[in-house]
A and B are shown apart, each in its own frame.
Chain A
Amino acid sequence: MIDLVLAGPDRLAPYLLLAAALFSLGVFACVTRRNAVGYLMGIELMLNAANLNMVAYGRFRTELLAGHAQVATLFVIALAAAEAAVALALVYAIFRNIRDVDLDKIRSLNGE
């Protein structure tokens, strides 16, 4: 009989390694993307990596607190949704003003 309960490897390390890879891919996307939406995707990747870490640690290291880790993850997801909404509204507003979403052309932080 096949055990229908999905149980991953009984180890924390694979999850951490995967999260590390996801996070660094997110960093790469954030640095290289010139399109504001691409930048946003990088941020989502990093948030997801953090979520994965949180749930994995909750599961393997603090069994009693696993629920808390998951609630915290839920909060991160809610905040990520809020962040995506605002970011896209910003992208839209910027697009309307300068007809472009190329981050390289939005350089007013440079003070010039």
Chain B
Amino acid sequence: MNVATLIFWPVVAVTLAGAAGAAFARNLVYAALSLGASLVGMAGLYFFLQAEYVAVIQMIVYVGGILILILFGVMFSRDILGTSTEPSIGSRILGGLASLATLAAMGRIAWNIAGTESLGLRAQRIPTADWVGQISSTSASHLGDLLMGPWLAPFLVVAVLLTVVLVAALGLVRKDAQ
């Protein structure tokens, strides 16, 4: 067991615990903060997956942006302590069943994969489309090439979308909108 593995499991634990806090904590500020912990943990996992650029973006956008937005939302919803929005028992049962079904379905897939991996089939390399070329690096510059290459059209569309979202969000909250 090397050092990396020693760090890996605590990161997983933080991610999981944070997510659990986001889902269960009654106090919404705690929920938002533990969501933050989970997001940071996720960024750590991206490092383990050798997706450094994604990890950085995760930190900047999710932790730096979205989390702040959510905290802002929590502040201004009147029910920070979650006392007046106690979930009903029915919705708890429904939520439990739905999340168990989700866990069962996705866990089963992971289980199957764990089975094949324990047979020595780990880290399979599947030869894929030819137009990707020979580059296998996932460096930021390579991601930039991809964004400006095959992903150019979606990239532009997202740019337009973000502009539209900006305007739409402003329109929704402008003063005279009733």
In the complex, the answer to whether B103 meets A21 with C-beta atoms within 8 Å is: yes
B13 — nearest CB in chain A belongs to which residue?
Answer: A18
Q: Which residues on B sit within 8 Å (CB–CB) of A16? A: 106, 109-110, 113
Q: Which residues on B sit within 8 Å (CB–CB) of A95? A: 76-77
- Interface residues in A53-96 by Cβ distance below 8 A to B read 55-56, 58-68, 70-71, 73-75, 77-82, 84-86, 88-93, 95
A35 — nearest CB in chain B belongs to which residue?
Answer: B85
Pick from A18, A41, A68, A90: contact of B16, CB under 8 Å: A18
In the complex, the answer to whether A25 meets B19 with C-beta atoms within 8 Å is: yes
Q: Which of A59, A71, A79, A91 has the most CB of B within 10 A?
A: A71
In the complex, the answer to whether A48 meets B42 with C-beta atoms within 8 Å is: yes
Give the number of chain B interface residues (Cβ < 8 Å): 100
Interface of B is mostly: helix
Q: Which of B5, B54, B142 has the most CB of A within 10 A?
A: B54
Known: A12-B113, A23-B102, A44-B35. A37 touches B77 (CB 8 A): yes
A33 — nearest CB in chain B belongs to which residue?
Answer: B87
Q: Which residues on A sit within 8 Å (CB–CB) of B32? A: 37, 41
In the complex, the answer to whether A37 meets B23 with C-beta atoms within 8 Å is: no
Known: A8-B48, A102-B79. A85 touches B91 (CB 8 A): no
Instruction: Render B33-58 as a binary contact track against A, CB cut-off 8 A, 1 for contact.
Output: 00100110010011111110110011
A86 to B19, CA, bound (A): 23
In the complex, the answer to whether A78 meets B73 with C-beta atoms within 8 Å is: no
Interface of A is mostly: helix
Q: Which residues on B sit within 8 Å (CB–CB) of A22? A: 15-16, 19, 38
Shortest CB-to-CB span from A90 to chain B, Å, is 6
In the complex, the answer to whether A59 meets B98 with C-beta atoms within 8 Å is: no
Pick from B72, B77, B95, B177: contact of A31, CB under 8 Å: B95
A18 to B20, CA, bound (A): 12
In the complex, the answer to whether B19 meets A45 with C-beta atoms within 8 Å is: yes
A82 — nearest CB in chain B belongs to which residue?
Answer: B165
Shortest CB-to-CB span from B20 to chain A, Å, is 6
A91 to B127, CA, bound (A): 46
Shortest CB-to-CB span from B177 to chain A, Å, is 7
B112 — nearest CB in chain A belongs to which residue?
Answer: A13
Residues of A within 8 A of B (CB): 2-3, 5-38, 40-42, 44-45, 48, 51-52, 55-56, 58-68, 70-71, 73-75, 77-82, 84-86, 88-93, 95, 97, 100-102, 104
5 A-B pairs closest in CB distance = A8-B48, A31-B95, A20-B106, A13-B114, A16-B110
8 additional A-B residue pairs with CB within 8 Å, beyond A6-B4, A81-B65:
A20-B103, A48-B38, A51-B42, A52-B45, A71-B146, A74-B143, A85-B165, A95-B76
